[in-house]
Structure 1
Amino acid sequence: MKKQKVMLCILDGYGIGKDYEFNAVSRSNKPYLDRLFSDYPSSSLVCSGFDVGLPKGTMGNSEVGHLNIGAGRVVFQDIARIHKSIEDGEFEKNQVLSDLIENTLKRDKSLHIMGLLSDGDVHSSIVHLKEIVRIASSGSLKKIFIHVFTDGRDTPPESGLGFVHDLEIFLKDTNARIASISGRYYAMDRDNRWDRIKKAYDILTDPPLQAPDVSAEDIIRRSYLSGITDEFIAPTAVYKNSVPVAKICRGDSVLFYNFRADRAREISSALNSLESGSVGTKELELDYVTMTEYREDFPFKTLFPKQHMENILGEVISKAGLKQLRIAETEKYAHVTFFFNGGAEKKFEGEERILIPSPKVATYDLQPEMSAFQVTDKAVDEMDKKIHDLIILNFANCDMVGHTGIFEAAKKAVETVDTCMGRIVSAAERNGYILLVTADHGNAEYMMDGKTPFTAHTKNRVPFLISDKELKLKEGKLGDIAPTILKLMGLDIPDEMTGEVLFN
């Protein structure tokens, strides 16, 4: 096979699901994608569970998907590492955790545990939270406070009340209490919307001094009655005897138990006065610990340091002296760069990146086309330059709009991607690029669960296509894509890449 230039298009959230009335993929008008999958060989890839390094039955997500695609192997995910540590009894021996608890006691300060309360297992795990609370409460530490971020995105929109109720029951036998509630829309922004972060920051560090008593469950119930679901619950402190249960004070200890980095960075920056604009102006001098490494230049200790991977796709392309381009809009830029490069910020030699700003709207159902047309303009321009040997592109629409649970908007998202793919196909053909099309996980193909909007990812397989009619493709997993690309490009596949080539 002659050496090929390759364009990999990742249609984020575009899964293969059973056709039904709320499958935004099958029920959309998408002539270009339909023709593409009719004309060229395709197969399907597993993107959940063991095949992407997650616990059995766990749905995939964008971070996991891009890690596996870029690594060319099954990447043992942080959640699985942490689960195993708990099962083996190693978690409670973690030196960083032990030091944090001991130092908090010595200084007579409070320990604040914060993170997403969710069984979605995308950003965090309830299992991890309960283990941390159990360990922290097993000694003399009495001032332990939990700041709950509610989900409703990777879980049903009104599941938060059940999670909080379960947590409250668990906490009865511990020294910990819930101190605040905040929807992830505020506390876990990742798009530099600092106004959202500020609302969470203010409740964490400076809630109103007095207010009527309100419990964590009361806060959530009142939000539901107002039509506000978990993701969008306004940051609110829990009050007892008309005063806040707790706030983060100067010199306190904080443990952020989210294991996924991208949505943990901004609030961490604010709480530690790092690159957060007008947010985070207090000099809190916190003893701040994170579950995993959120950013290479963050000065925080972590319970589970990063695992380094050798010979991932970007590195192999770079070592071969070839040029590569990563392009996406803001919402998925970290995925085609940081996560695709094995969780490393640094670019490889010969790697270029183009970031297209995502639109500044409250939710993407209001603008389901997002910035896909601008992404396409840039991608076509770059292909026409004939500079890059490998281009990695992400269309965010099907995932980000799928998360809103708005079916008609999700259809519009799919149709937008379809229109863009029409231009991508033409540009690839005239510039000698072989086109690969896939997704990192499903979402838009399942928009309603009964009568309830479904806002989470799915466990469905995703498509995989190569625009070469001579090839016969086989079923596989996301970790098989990188070795397949190297084979198409005429490059040796390194031993570290244990994925299989997807064509015969």
Structure 2
Amino acid sequence: MGGCIQGSTSCRSHHFSSKQSSFCSSSRLMLMIWLWQLLLKGASEHGAKRIRVHILTDGRDVLDGSSVTFVETLENDLAKLREKGVDARIASGGGRMYVTMDRYENDWQVVKRGWDAQVLGETPHKFPSALEAVKKLRDDPKANDQYLPPFVVLDESGKPVGPIVDGDAVVTFNFRADRMVMLAKALEYEDFDKFDRVRFPRIRYAGMLQYDGELKLPSHYLVAPPEIERTSGEYLARNGVRTYACSETVKFGHVTFFWNGNRSGYFNPNLERYEEIPSDTGIPFNVQPRMKAVEVAEKARDAILSGKFDQVRVNIPNADMVGHTGDLEATIVGCKAADEAVKIILDAIEQVGGIFVVTADHGNAEDMVKRDKSRKPIRDKDGNVQPLTSHTLNPVPIAIGGPGLAPGATFREDLPDAGLANVAATVINLHGFEAPHHYEPTLIQVSPVPF
């Protein structure tokens, strides 16, 4: 695939690699292992005699199937602590997309399944060990790490080894602030009403970070969150750029909260408008692969044609969210819906004489097959190609064009390592401003057009 600049003088393709994407597979797993090892070591050295770990398997930002290695490594670390007299065990688990890690309040039942396992110790699946749980649950041909059902580990007497109870100290360690906020609300809020918690344990709770600086949630945390300042959204608001942002629930934070440096709300409510299209709840993405792509595009089209905004930004999630299911046929349907949505937006830009920038933050749906080192598809024992459900490390395209693009605009040739970080300056330049000097440089240049 290639991006294309469409000016009056040139049209060519351009790729850039997401510098963040190179961190998407084994590096993430190794960093998580290193993190839990530090936490376990620190807790035991500071006098903890009873430790319980509630795990969530991934298969999304790391390869599907890595859960087995993950659990084996953790079990070995816990066994070493037991040799030192620390009662350390895995207490429960489940797949991240089915247990605990919902976001933007899209589906509270996901969080409830985690609550039932982690706090109440109640799930349909109970095992004597986490390793047996993961292996047995993955025996289902349709199973994957993302959607493993919740399970509880039982002791020798058949009771859950570690439900969260009054007096416990609880630390949630997770890189995804957006996916920890909902659990933090359930653990902290006295007047919580999103589902019946059955019991509300009185615990000492801290997050690895403060997951939401606006809500001050959680109120206690181990590491101060990074302050992300001077974002492009703030820069444009200060310079009077009227902005509209829209996506469906599962990606709404990506065009608002994340975009603004992990900040909720507006920089200038007189200049900005954010609109959320509710995502389907309780329905797998491969069952409704079109998602809300067209609805998002229609909102964007209306915003463009209204003349009330100078920038319209949207996220079309199909290739990511449906691609993660590993369902190729559904992903094709989802990508077609995304294409349909993009055309609606581009047609509107054409009508108003605007400029478009189309890109992605990582690969996903363009390659959905697990491959060996020689790039040949990996097959299971029955000869079936194994689906790839995690992000890919392929470069992603960027396309810039539209009737409003200056004649003579071309991609720069002196940025061989350009990536997502360069997009902010590019967009600011397209609005007619000079990007701040501390930004990564713009991707475009404008050469004089000869008569």
Contact 1:441 1:458 in 2 (8 A): yes
1:47 paired residue among 14, 18, 25: 18
Q: After the TM superposition, which of the residue ranges 199-208 and 432-441 deviates more from structure 2?
A: 199-208
Aligned to 2:367: 446
1:307 paired residue among 226, 247, 256: 226
Is structure 2 residue 89 aligned with structure 1 residue 177?
Answer: yes
1:51-106, CA deviations, whole angstroms, 9 ceiling, x for partnerless residues?
x4x8xx413xxxxxxxxxxxxxxxxxxxxxxxxxxxxxxxxxxxxxxxxxxxxxxx
Counterparts of 1:404 and 1:145 in 2: how far apart (Å)? 30
1:252 paired residue among 159, 162, 168: 168
One-letter amino acid of the structure 1 residue matched with residue 319 of structure 2 = C
Q: For residue 485 of structure 1, report the CA deviation from its aligned partner.
A: 1.4
Is structure 2 residue 45 aligned with structure 1 residue 131?
Answer: no
Aligned to 1:363: 284
Is structure 2 residue 437 aligned with structure 1 residue 495?
Answer: yes
Q: Determine which structure has greater relative contact order: mean sequence separation of CA pairs < 8 Å that are 6+ residues apart, divided by chain length.
A: 1
State how 1:65-464 maps to structure 2 within 5 Å: 119=26, 121=28, 125-174=32-81, 175=86, 176-184=88-96, 185-190=98-103, 191-208=105-122, 214-227=128-141, 228-241=143-156, 242-273=158-189, 275-280=192-197, 282-296=199-213, 297=215, 298-349=217-268, 350-449=271-370, 450=377, 451-464=385-398
Equivalent residue of 1:460, what SS?
coil
One-letter amino acid of the structure 1 residue matched with residue 133 of structure 2 = I
One-letter amino acid of the structure 2 residue matched with residue 126 of structure 1 = I
Q: For residue 149 of structure 1, report the CA deviation from its aligned partner.
A: 0.8
Contact 1:487 1:501 in 2 (8 A): no
> Would you tell me which structure has more helix in proportion to its own residues?
1
One-letter amino acid of the structure 2 residue matched with residue 287 of structure 1 = R
- Number of residue equivalences: 410
**1:210/1:459 Cα in 2 relative to 1: closer, same or farther (>3 Å)?**
closer
Contact 1:194 1:279 in 2 (8 A): no
One-letter amino acid of the structure 1 residue matched with residue 411 of structure 2 = L
Equivalent residue of 2:146, what SS?
helix
**1:299/1:196 Cα in 2 relative to 1: closer, same or farther (>3 Å)?**
closer
Counterparts of 1:303 and 1:125 in 2: how far apart (Å)? 16
Counterparts of 2:256 and 2:314 in 1: how far apart (Å)? 10
Q: For residue 340 of structure 1, report the CA deviation from its aligned partner.
A: 0.4
Aligned to 1:483: 425
Q: For residue 138 of structure 1, report the CA deviation from its aligned partner.
A: 2.1
Contact 2:4 2:400 in 1 (8 A): no
One-letter amino acid of the structure 1 residue matched with residue 90 of structure 2 = I
Return 5+ residue gaps in structure 1 as ranges.
1-15, 18-32, 60-117
1:265-297, CA deviations, whole angstroms, 9 ceiling, x for partnerless residues?
222222223655124353323211111221121
Q: For residue 424 of structure 1, report the CA deviation from its aligned partner.
A: 1.1
**1:41/1:122 Cα in 2 relative to 1: closer, same or farther (>3 Å)?**
farther
Q: Give the TM-score normalised by structure 1.
A: 0.76
Q: For residue 218 of structure 1, report the CA deviation from its aligned partner.
A: 1.4
Q: For residue 192 of structure 1, report the CA deviation from its aligned partner.
A: 3.0
1:421-463, CA deviations, whole angstroms, 9 ceiling, x for partnerless residues?
2221110011122111111111011101122110111121111
**1:305/1:40 Cα in 2 relative to 1: closer, same or farther (>3 Å)?**
farther
One-letter amino acid of the structure 2 residue matched with residue 188 of structure 1 = M
Contact 1:123 1:259 in 2 (8 A): no
Equivalent residue of 1:128, what SS?
helix
**1:209/1:429 Cα in 2 relative to 1: closer, same or farther (>3 Å)?**
closer
Counterparts of 2:165 and 2:226 in 1: how far apart (Å)? 33
1:296-324, CA deviations, whole angstroms, 9 ceiling, x for partnerless residues?
21142222222223321111111112211
Aligned to 1:82: none
**1:279/1:154 Cα in 2 relative to 1: closer, same or farther (>3 Å)?**
farther
One-letter amino acid of the structure 2 residue matched with residue 392 of structure 1 = R
**1:224/1:122 Cα in 2 relative to 1: closer, same or farther (>3 Å)?**
closer
Return 5+ residue gaps in structure 2 as ranges.
371-376, 378-384, 447-451
**1:268/1:169 Cα in 2 relative to 1: closer, same or farther (>3 Å)?**
same
**1:285/1:129 Cα in 2 relative to 1: closer, same or farther (>3 Å)?**
same
Q: After the TM superposition, which of the residue ranges 346-355 and 134-143 deviates more from structure 2?
A: 134-143
**1:364/1:36 Cα in 2 relative to 1: closer, same or farther (>3 Å)?**
farther
Counterparts of 2:272 and 2:126 in 1: how far apart (Å)? 56
1:243-279, CA deviations, whole angstroms, 9 ceiling, x for partnerless residues?
2111100231111110221111222222223655124
Q: Give the TM-score normalised by structure 2.
A: 0.84
Equivalent residue of 1:179, what SS?
strand
Alignment root-mean-square deviation, CA: 2.7
Counterparts of 2:204 and 2:78 in 1: how far apart (Å)? 23
Question: Percent identity of the aligned residues?
Answer: 31
Equivalent residue of 1:186, what SS?
coil
Aligned to 1:12: none
Aligned to 2:410: 472
Counterparts of 1:423 and 1:141 in 2: how far apart (Å)? 58
Q: For residue 42 of structure 1, report the CA deviation from its aligned partner.
A: 3.9
Q: For residue 479 of structure 1, report the CA deviation from its aligned partner.
A: 1.1
Equivalent residue of 2:445, what SS?
coil
Contact 2:63 2:390 in 1 (8 A): yes
Equivalent residue of 1:258, what SS?
coil
Counterparts of 1:186 and 1:120 in 2: how far apart (Å)? 23
